[in-house]
Chain A
Amino acid sequence: MCVVCGCGTGAALAPNENGHGQGHGHGHEHGHDHDHGHVVVAPGGDLHYGAGAARVSVPGMSQARALRLEADVLGANRRLAADNRAHFAAHGVTAYNLVSSPGSGKTTLLCATIEHLLAHAPTLPLAVIEGDQQTSNDANRIRATGAAAIQVNTGKGCHLDAQMVSDAFSRLHLHAHAHAGAAAGAAGTQALLFIENVGNLVCPAMWDLGEAAKVAILSVTEGEDKPIKYPDLFAAARLMVLNKIDLLPHLDFDVPKCIEYARRVNPGIEVLLVSARTGQGLDAWVDWLLQPAE
């Protein structure tokens, strides 16, 4: 009897049925019809993998083998993101991936930022990729400022991925503009691309889009402990923007505590305080956006 599986060798197997003799020493190589019997021992003692019963056409039997993949599930997205990053660099485009919960004021901040940039750096090409599950409301708000915007609706999806950004970027005039001969390659930002991710503090943390940096936007109406409640997202961001600071006098939001929480999950995170509504802090924010890439 086989001590591994308990089968009786004679019961399951007629002599020579599996193409090798019954004269084997009792290892576990006899070819009875379940999965562990896929290695065949030749009379000389050689091991033959892949020569099992299925190859000799016994109906209903299968050839089992172990396959080692060791593959990163996000690897395909990571490769596309690397392509995007190279594509952006070749066009002199600096891309920022804005992540936050719904209602933090991302679109209002973007509109204020674009107006500020149009006033102070009117020659700088700008574009926005807007991610939402549904509607083109946000892209319409951006276009009303005069900047180009393309809406990406993810349907049921909870985040943008690198393929969506690649598809959207190829449809933007920013892309065509650079192809038309606006010189790229010198140091510094020659065009800005804002990618407004789907409002969600969980999923966008994992998907690299090819951005220069993720920017986490947190409004002071949300509670100062968001960075430790959603640590993955704040750990992935280079900058945290505290938005709606004009409302601070009406709230119990503890700014130093919030910054301490953010630095717990990300010791290197930078922090800026802004109000998209009053314009407070916008100069520092725009300076940050235009700083040379590291």
Chain B
Amino acid sequence: MHELSLAGGIVRLVEDAAQRERFSRVSRLRLEAGALAGVEVRALRFALEAITPGTCLDGATIDIDEPPGTAWCLHCACSVEIASRADPCPRCGGFQIQATGGTELRVLDLMVHDDQET
């Protein structure tokens, strides 16, 4: 269940940004969890729901983009799409492939609000 640690990392990133950019509330958060990032998106949502109350992410809509994994096939000498690191190259069926994309979990952007009293 490393998604809980990752959710904590996301909250920390956003809270740091809140201090730096002076906002108090986030209404929408957009994340990117690549197919090869080792992240179970349902577990990540569950973890975020559990830890965001009381933070500036409380009540925020969370969108998670899931870009496909990409890899370079040495045999075909081209970039191919894969769903897991255990997959073969979809063109030649070989395993001489190296993951190149869809390997990251990132915070992309957020809609923030100042909510100032005066």
Residue A180 interfacial (CB < 8 Å): no
Residue A281 interfacial (CB < 8 Å): no
Chain B residues, CB < 8 A from A231 = 84-86
Q: Are B108 and A232 in contact (CB under 8 A)?
A: no
- 1/0 per position for B1-42, CB-CB distance to A under 8 A? 110011001101110010001010101000000001110000
Residue A25 interfacial (CB < 8 Å): no
Instruction: Identify B2's interface contact among A75, A203, A263, A264, CB under 8 A.
Output: A203
Minimum CB–CB distance for A127 against chain B, Å: 25
**Given A67-B109, A70-B107, A231-B86: A62 in contact with B114 (beta carbons within 8 A):** yes
Please measure, in the bound complex, the distance between the C-alpha atom of A72 and the C-alpha atom of B10, giving whole angstroms. Answer: 9
Chain B residues, CB < 8 A from A265 = 85-86, 95
Chain A residues, CB < 8 A from B9 = 73-74, 76-77
Chain B residues, CB < 8 A from A228 = 86
Residue A8 interfacial (CB < 8 Å): no
Residue A68 interfacial (CB < 8 Å): yes
A interface: dominant SS:
mixed
- 1/0 per position for A195-210, CB-CB distance to B under 8 A? 0000000110111000
Query: Which of A88-96, A156-164, A249-257 lies at the binding interface?
Result: A156-164
Residue B105 interfacial (CB < 8 Å): yes
Chain A residues, CB < 8 A from B38 = 202, 205-206, 232
Residue A271 interfacial (CB < 8 Å): no
Q: Are A76 and B2 in contact (CB under 8 A)?
A: no
Q: Are A161 and B13 in contact (CB under 8 A)?
A: no
Please measure, in the bound complex, the distance between the C-alpha atom of A280 and the C-alpha atom of B70, giving whole angstroms. Answer: 40
Residue B88 interfacial (CB < 8 Å): yes
Residue A235 interfacial (CB < 8 Å): yes
Chain A residues, CB < 8 A from B21 = 67
Q: Are A157 and B17 in contact (CB under 8 A)?
A: no
Chain A residues, CB < 8 A from B105 = 72-74
Residue B91 interfacial (CB < 8 Å): no
Chain A residues, CB < 8 A from B23 = 65, 67
Please measure, in the bound complex, the distance between the C-alpha atom of A231 and the C-alpha atom of B98, giving whole angstroms. Answer: 13
- 1/0 per position for A46-64, CB-CB distance to B under 8 A? 0000000011010000111
Chain B residues, CB < 8 A from A77 = 9
Residue A283 interfacial (CB < 8 Å): no
Chain A residues, CB < 8 A from B96 = 267
Instruction: Identify A76's interface contact among B12, B112, B116, CB under 8 A.
Output: B12
Please measure, in the bound complex, the distance between the C-alpha atom of A231 and the C-alpha atom of B113, giving whole angstroms. Answer: 41
The 20 listed contacts between A and B (C-beta, < 8 Å) are A63-B115, A63-B116, A64-B111, A67-B109, A70-B106, A70-B109, A71-B13, A72-B106, A73-B9, A73-B107, A159-B5, A161-B5, A202-B2, A203-B5, A228-B86, A231-B84, A231-B85, A264-B95, A265-B86, A267-B95
18 more A-B residue pairs beyond the given contacts A67-B17, A232-B38, A265-B86, with a C-beta to C-beta distance below 8 A: A54-B115, A66-B110, A66-B112, A67-B23, A67-B111, A69-B13, A69-B108, A70-B106, A72-B105, A73-B10, A73-B13, A73-B107, A74-B9, A157-B5, A228-B86, A232-B85, A235-B85, A267-B74
Interface residues in chain A, defined as those with a beta carbon under 8 Å from any beta carbon in chain B: 35, 54-55, 57, 62-77, 157-159, 161, 202-203, 205-207, 227-229, 231-232, 235, 263-265, 267
